[in-house]
Structure 1
């Protein structure tokens, strides 16, 4: 075959970018046998599909590289002293092969709340980093991120140790109050006839510790050491009383500290203060309530006062002399029906 056939073969080879060196056409004579051999070589030397995995990231490529090292050079990947490649760089490249490249990246290890280690690693997963650094996990250890997580540059890997302990403590048991009725007491009057007494319980708690710091506890059991004693209270049911020949019917009785005032003026309800006006704490005796105060007589809750809080009342008198005579007394205030 002459020069024209050689040009055809040259074009066929170069159009497919085959790695075959062709001498200049003016110096090439190619026989039919050689053409067949070259075409066979072209078929053998066709691009091979492989998967290149760099730090866990796969990429499908086609290559004419003969060795793994050639493939890395083709992909412009330069290995550092601690970088790893599998198969080895001098291994041949086969069709369909998976080639893994692990390059070194910095990571931070935070171990059990005590140590912080800066490390460089070529491992692709968190589990590999821990194994590479000789870190053995206990049954209660927790790893963040998870063991199968792909390692990234600058990643922080935290290992915490969860332990369980117990503690025992004594706690008070509250007592209950039992109410009984007494027809001898006025309504609203209670009398303790037996004081209550708290009991004692011994509790066992399961405590969770994360790196030695308690994070939560669960009650396992509670045993009564001393049972509580109920408080017994008599509650009055007597709803009427005779005063000055008159029967007074009431809803309840309040034992109050009673003081006196005078001077006139307007009340909190807009009325004019006069005898029978009683200043109260509205949270105890609602404004407008009719009352009977021992030693004072009938009155109406019409006023309030800055110092009138709780079981306190202020009684209006016409004169300062009456105010002085009253002074301060502890009286029963009957809230009328």
Structure 2
């Protein structure tokens, strides 16, 4: 029994000794392994860490750190460089950035993060007039996009003044806001909607529209009311009640474009004073014609002679319409021997002021020969003894005694008959 115990004890001691040896060797090996590692510094996208490694090259180190390096990445030193103690490694991962210039897209790979540096790397120049979504000195956004709108000149006309200004592809409304131009209630932009996008060919014309009310007072003409009067000779008219003009107020909307009136629209009317009709009495009394003072056997040539008419015309030529004669219509006015510009003597030499009762008419000699006997509707039989500057064509001017008779006669279209 004793020998068996000692043998068993020796075996256990041998095993323990072996295990102790293995542990010692492992510890020594581990210590030697750790001691022989090289310490390097790795800057990965701005994050710095220290690494103890037995790798031989930079590429192996990055693989050990599970970092995948692409052709666009920035790595220093190169992947093939040997790892030495204290080595500083810098790796910056490249990103794909989309640069949009007026809608045209350019994709580039870059390790830069500042907008200005990225544009410089892409050889894209930006002026202070251009529009960028991001500021030049800021970092690129999470979407890796840079949006640029290049400025161009636009023709701007406002308040009648034209000038060229810089703009980008924005709406008309935003453009006006950028230029500090405010549209009033009725203002508009000629040939453009506010939502239209501006292009280099755009011409922006602001039309200033102003609307204002204007009240204008105008007269209202009276109506002439004619009444038959048997006490007056046929053809004679007499004003019984003078007409009075009325007054009306008209309100207009005045539309002005850039200070110029372009429209005048009637909005309302208000009668301030009603007009009063003019009442005119029209004679209907028929007068029996007297015996003519012109001899029945007198020749046509003898009618225009001044002595014959002056001495024999004190008796009326009559007013009854003859049965025959060259008949047509004329426009008839009336005059007196004392009218403005009148000499009182007819074209054939008759003193009308001394013979106010004569029936004389002024004619156009190319239509009615001087000396002709003429029946005039509403006047009677008269002799063409006078002319006038305004009496041309189918026009006549009848001679009356007073100005009131001339006014009452007015202007009429009458029927006449040339008797010889």
Q: Which residue of 2 aligns with 1:146?
A: 193
Q: Deviations over 1:103-130 (max 9, x none)?
A: 11123433344x6554222243322211
Contact 2:108 2:122 in 1 (8 A): no
TM score, norm. by length of structure 1? 0.53
- Computed over aligned residues only, the root mean square deviation of the Cα atoms, in angstroms, reads 5.4
Q: Which residue of 2 aligns with 1:158?
A: 205
Q: How does 1:230-241 map to 2 (within 5 A)?
A: 230-238=277-285, 241=288
Q: Which residue of 2 aligns with 1:11?
A: none
Q: Which residue of 2 aligns with 1:14?
A: none
Q: How does 1:140-219 map to 2 (within 5 A)?
A: 140-144=186-190, 145-153=192-200, 155-219=202-266
For the residues of structure 1 that align with 2:244 and 2:280, how far apart are their CA atoms? Answer: 13
Q: Which residue of 2 aligns with 1:30?
A: none
For the residues of structure 2 that align with 1:197 and 1:203, how far apart are their CA atoms? Answer: 19
The alpha-carbon distance between structure 1 residues 106 and 287, as it changes in their structure 2 partners (threshold 3 A), is farther
Q: Which residue of 1 aligns with 2:348?
A: 261
Q: How does 1:1-337 map to 2 (within 5 A)?
A: 54=102, 65-66=108-109, 78-85=125-132, 101-113=148-160, 118-144=164-190, 145-153=192-200, 155-238=202-285, 241-244=288-291, 248-250=319-321, 259=346, 261=348, 280-281=363-364, 291=374, 307=389, 309=391, 311-312=396-397, 335=416
- Give the CA deviation at 1:224: 1.9
Q: Deviations over 1:27-58 (max 9, x none)?
A: xxxxxxxxxxxxxxxxxxxxxxx99673xxx6
The alpha-carbon distance between structure 1 residues 287 and 156, as it changes in their structure 2 partners (threshold 3 A), is farther
* Pair member with larger Rg: 2
Contact 1:254 1:334 in 2 (8 A): no
For the residues of structure 1 that align with 2:150 and 2:174, how far apart are their CA atoms? Answer: 13
- Give the CA deviation at 1:292: 5.2
TM score, norm. by length of structure 2? 0.44
- The unaligned stretches of length 5 or more in structure 1 are 1-18, 22-49, 263-276, 314-327
Q: With a CA cutoff of 8 Å and minimum separation of 6, indicate the structure with the bigger relative contact order.
A: 1
Q: How many residues align?
A: 254
The alpha-carbon distance between structure 1 residues 121 and 286, as it changes in their structure 2 partners (threshold 3 A), is farther
